[in-house]
Amino acid sequence: MTAPRSAGRVLGRSAVAVAVSAGLVGLLLSRVDAGRLFDRAADVRSGPFALAFVCSVAVLLLRAQRFHALAERARYRETVAAVAVQNFLVRVTPFRLGELGLPVFLHRVSGEPLVRSLVNVVLVRLVELWMLLMLGACATAAWLGPRSGERGLPLVTYGALVLVTAAVVGFRFFLDAAARLATRLTGGAAGRDAPGLGGKLARAVERLRAVLADGARLSLGARLRLGAGTALIAVFQYTLFWSLLAMFDVRLDALPVLVGGTAAQLAAALPVPSVGSVGPLEAAWVAGFSWVGVGFDDAVLSAVACQVVTLAFAGLFAAGAWFSVGMGRAPRDIARAPGNNARGGDD
């Protein structure tokens, strides 16, 4: 009875995710003139569309260089492919389960350790969240500043910044503490040989602790690539948002793009029960850009365009990754001789 119940839970959660996504998008579309929206969507400016594509490629390559800096074995080309697949899966799976696409893909094509990749995904997402909160808080404070009658940012914003900053700075410390606790709960070394789920958990925790013990591999160069890469990604990401608005002749300065774009990205990053970011992204996009003065119809149109265009780009990149690297092949053989560069010579 366990398998049918598990399948039923998965189907139930998937149905909730589809309902949330469809409900949020349907609610937004129900409040605009669909005919006028379609006419405007057909009149897309080609220049901003091309800029959006260039920015999407830049974001993909920069995201790949971050994971490549943190990887043990994967080559850059393989990391680009893995990030492309992960990005597409995140966009079409509920509860951000697509995040697992990168560890699985890298393990399959390059033999990258799964646990190490999972730790790297968590670290990268924390750094991204910190960057989003910092940019959003600064941009929103600047936007509110000259407006009479508006109060400052809510206290919860500063609290979130403090918590995320602490999580980024003390990432390995907190993860190691959690691993030590998990080791005790799973029985330590004796638990590794236990049958069933308990033994599997104990072995997984042991592999996690081995990764954390190898923390010296995260060199200063890797840290710089992670930080600088995240900053550059933000530049191209917000330029992408500007271009998506400009496709429909909505021209904004940098500050309102930062405010509205941050709202959309934070909503997309939350583990909301939806299919990918469909629904939460559009709702937050409309709320954020309407707040900074974009008309409601323009906000809805650009929100839908953001989802459709970036999803199309993600699908194109993922398809290219699938055929260029190949999910079906076995992991390549990597020489592990002392002093040998595990990544090979094509970095």
Tens-digit pLDDT profile for residues 40-82: 667 778 899 999 999 999 999 999 999 999 888 889 999 999 9
Q: How far apart are CA 113 and CA 122, in angstroms?
A: 15
Rounded to whole angstroms, how far apart are CA atoms 102 and 117? 8
pLDDT above 70 covers what percent of the chain? 67
Angle at 149 between CA 145 and CA 150, to 5 degrees: 45
Q: Of 235, 270, 225, which is closest to residue 67 (Cα–Cα)?
A: 225
Q: Answer for the pair 175, 212: CB distance below 8 angstroms, yes or no.
A: yes
- Give the residues of the chain that fall short of pLDDT 50: 1, 148-149, 216, 328, 330, 334-347
* Contacting residues for 42 by C-beta, under 8 A, at least 6 apart: none
Both tokens of residue 147?
A: 């407006």
Calpha distance 300→287 (Å, rounded): 9
Q: Which residue has the tokens 């650009």?
A: 302
134-164 pLDDT tens trace? 888 888 888 877 554 455 566 666 777 788 8
Report which residue type is found at 89.
Answer: L
Residue 63 contacts residue 232 (beta carbons within 8 Å):
no
Report the amino acid identity of residue 205: V
Whether the Cβ atoms of residue 321 and residue 88 lie closer than 8 Å to each other: no
What pLDDT does residue 298 have?
87
Alpha-carbon span 236 to 58, nearest angstrom: 7
| Segment 252-271, tens digit of pLDDT | 999 999 999 998 888 877 76
Q: Which residue has the tokens 């393990």?
A: 107
